[in-house]
Amino acid sequence: MRAGSGLGALRRLLKTQPDVFRVPTEADASGKLTPAEVYSWIRCYLISHPHLDHLSGLVLSAGSTKSASTPVYGTQHTLEAISDIFSGKIWPALASWTEEPGKPLRLARLSPDDGYTPIVGSLSVRTMVVSHGPSSDTTATSNPPYESSAFFLRHDPSAREFLFFGDVEPDTLSSNPQNRDVWRTAAPKIPDVLSALFIECSWPEDRPDELLYGHLSPTHLVEELTSLAREVVESRARSRASSDEDSGQSTDSERQHTRRSKRRRRSDSDIRDVDVRGALAGLRVYIIHCKDDLHETYDRPIQEVIAGQVRTLVNDRGLGAEIIAVEQGMLISV
């Protein structure tokens, strides 16, 4: 559940789908679940960046839940901003950097690229920083992008993962493109270890680049997925080359060639012609964070419109990924 969704969203959901959170084996299947009860099940929060739409539920409900010291995981940048909110000026001081009696929230720092950190039960997370548009004055000469995060979430016993992006801008428009590093990290895991990607596509196709405000539109998302597909093709070629080498069946000249290509860092122009068709087969891409204030323009929910546009572009390129529009209350197995 997004920490931006609060008790109000839960109340609406339980009205239309009273059994949505019910697990089939649950002993007491007769009683009605309340939004507060469901909210109390949250054992930790994982926050990609501190924009209000990602925090409002967490902030507003912090004082009304019975939980104590629930960890709020995020990077230093995210946690400092959250700490400002709970400074006592605009909201009571309900969060602490250490475990403190009476504080419902404990701020727990994640270090990007520090491997996997256990967060709750058998789940671990690996954090990578991504860019989310200019942070302030777009006319300033030095204006580093606003920081957001991508999370690799791993179920430790099975070693299966999924990849979840916070809000993110396209590498092609960023002054600090960082998505490609995430794609390079994800590529060797697709699709056996990692078969589900959650990524935003805030805007529909007709949104001009200058009005994206650090978000993706279908064309840009499909450029990003193509970048991932290239990394997948390259990673498979590399692992084929090294297994040929290991099997000892390659000739001397083949081995030399492999070593040469390993040494050579491919430039963008080199890999533009890589055949990416089918490279993302077995990957499900869940489209999140669609801006729903535009829904009056369309006769269908905006997430279906946007997912449809992404699907068409993905199919045109033959990438092979399945595109799914995420809806509130949807049951997702990854």
Would you give the binding string for Zn ion spanning residues 131-160, x where CB under 5 A is met? Answer: ------------------------------
Tally: H helices and E strands in the chain: 9, 11
Q: Determine, following the binding rule CB under 5 A, whether residue 292 of this chain makes contact with Zn ion.
A: no
Pairwise CA distance, residues 189 & 159, whole Å: 11
Q: Which of residues 116 and 213 has its CB atom nearest to Zn ion in the complex?
A: 213
Q: Which of residues 161 and 224 has its CB atom nearest to Zn ion in the complex?
A: 224
The first and second tokens of residue 235, run together, are 């990673």
CA distances from 288 to 14, 201, 305, 325 (A): 21, 6, 12, 7
Q: How far is the CB of 56 from Zn ion (least distance, A)?
A: 11
Footprint on residues 115-134 left by Zn ion (CB under 5 A): none
Footprint on residues 33-52 left by Zn ion (CB under 5 A): 51
E strands in 246-292: 284-288
Footprint on residues 157-186 left by Zn ion (CB under 5 A): 167
Q: How far is the CB of 102 from Zn ion (least distance, A)?
A: 31
Give the residue among 176, 97, 93 at the shortest CA–CA distance from 129.
176
Q: Which of residues 2 and 230 has its CB atom nearest to Zn ion in the complex?
A: 2
Among 19, 26, 53, 209, interactor with Zn ion by CB under 5 A: 53
Q: Which of residues 51 and 311 has its CB atom nearest to Zn ion in the complex?
A: 51
At 44, is the secondary structure helix, strand, or coil?
coil
Q: How far is the CB of 260 from Zn ion (least distance, A)?
A: 43
Give the residue among 140, 262, 132 at the shortest CA–CA distance from 199.
132
Q: What are phi and psi of 229, to 5 degrees?
A: -60, -40
Q: How far is the CB of 79 from Zn ion (least distance, A)?
A: 16
Q: Which of residues 61 and 202 has its CB atom nearest to Zn ion in the complex?
A: 202
Amino acid at 248: G
Q: How far is the CB of 159 from Zn ion (least distance, A)?
A: 30
Q: Which residues contact 103 (CB under 8 A, 6 or more apart)?
A: 68, 69, 93, 94, 95, 96
Q: In what order do the strands lie in the sheet with 95-96?
A: 45-46, 70-74, 105-109, 95-96
Q: How far is the CB of 93 from Zn ion (least distance, A)?
A: 25
Q: How far is the CB of 247 from Zn ion (least distance, A)?
A: 48
The first and second tokens of residue 305, run together, are 């419109």
Q: Which of residues 37 and 53 has its CB atom nearest to Zn ion in the complex?
A: 53
Q: Which of residues 202 and 235 has its CB atom nearest to Zn ion in the complex?
A: 202
Count of residues touching Zn ion (by CB under 5 A): 3
Which residues bind to Zn ion, rule: CB under 5 A? 51, 53, 167
